Structure 1
């Protein structure tokens, strides 16, 4: 699959020249697709995909640190289950890694991760679970970028709208208590907001959604084969969005049920 991934070289050059911050968010579906005999391990292809994103910050959801059953199931395959956690395995050379668990299951666990081209500072985790059937959390990482401290929050919200509303309220309370009012802030992840109803409550925390130029349709990221919904998003404070992109094609469609969402930012 290596030939199917292309770096956005024009974006990378402009990001360097203009000191832009390139951010990507990606729900990797625990590195596995399919069920039964058709179940396949995609974590190795995802490693190529994450590298091809060429992002300064990569916000990842549904990342496994370990899973005993899948490790056993794929032990016989040519490219087996990685010996290290998925966050560390996916990180391109030279990237820092932060990971925290959201959900513990019978055979393993999964959570959120941040991969960073820039130095990492303190790492925190804030539980925003709304009920016992869905374990949800916010990963909070301080990143040093171009002489500025960026507060990066990785989010994966619940499946019910009422839960998401309460989780956004808790997110807002956490931001008010843990992030300085004048700090650069990026909140990104899988918001599961099928009805496009969370922009207003996110704006209450001063967060602006990364979007294409006025008049253009928001790029969809889910489901990956025939994307219809814009579930994967990036919200910022103190940064201006310059452009957005969603990679498309058969290789991206097979690796996860979500497509990555990428945006570039400059200081406001």
Structure 2
């Protein structure tokens, strides 16, 4: 076999390897896990801007939104599994179909209401306990260069931005932290009854989250159909506080492979 034929065979093998790798990556992304990067602070302090995670797409079964560009030829949901209160879920916005990530607080048939900043489920207040202060640097965060909101304003650039940190215990025993910045119009809501086949989501950064407390056509998400759920977030894989992922000096090593509550 001459050198030209050897080079041709080596090139063909390289092409096959690349094709197989792309097919495998496509199968994994479609059926198993989807990468997701946190662009906003609506889930602080559970999720921070710059956290990178993989969404478990097997958790709730599969819908057309399980495939990239929503191309799965599926009507409704197959191999469906019911999500649990307290799950951190990636879903498609009911109107824009953009990916969102929030915490599930209301299932079909539940009533949900905010009263003086306290979450009420099925007529009962969800217990909250003050556990301290969440402190972050008052600076531009992530590629979007957003600055955080602080309870101790005015705060100079580079100063400590503070928020009240509380622990909330959901009816099924799930405990997680939430942030309180101050009085907000979303601290008082009507009484919502979650329709059949839909779900109610809220951000853990309660005063800085467009979620189910606000209708989908005016900056929130409203009720989210079961079909729109993409998967469950269980663990942060990687985290960077900088505007570029390669800026290694901004990596948050304490958040690598961090399990989510």
Work out which structure has the larger RCO, using CA pairs closer than 8 Å and 6 or more positions apart in sequence.
2
Give the TM-score band, short-chain normalised. Answer: under 0.3
The structure with more helix, counted as a fraction of residues = 1
TM, length-normalised to structure 1: 0.25
Bigger radius of gyration, 1 or 2? 2
* TM-score where L is the length of structure 2: 0.25
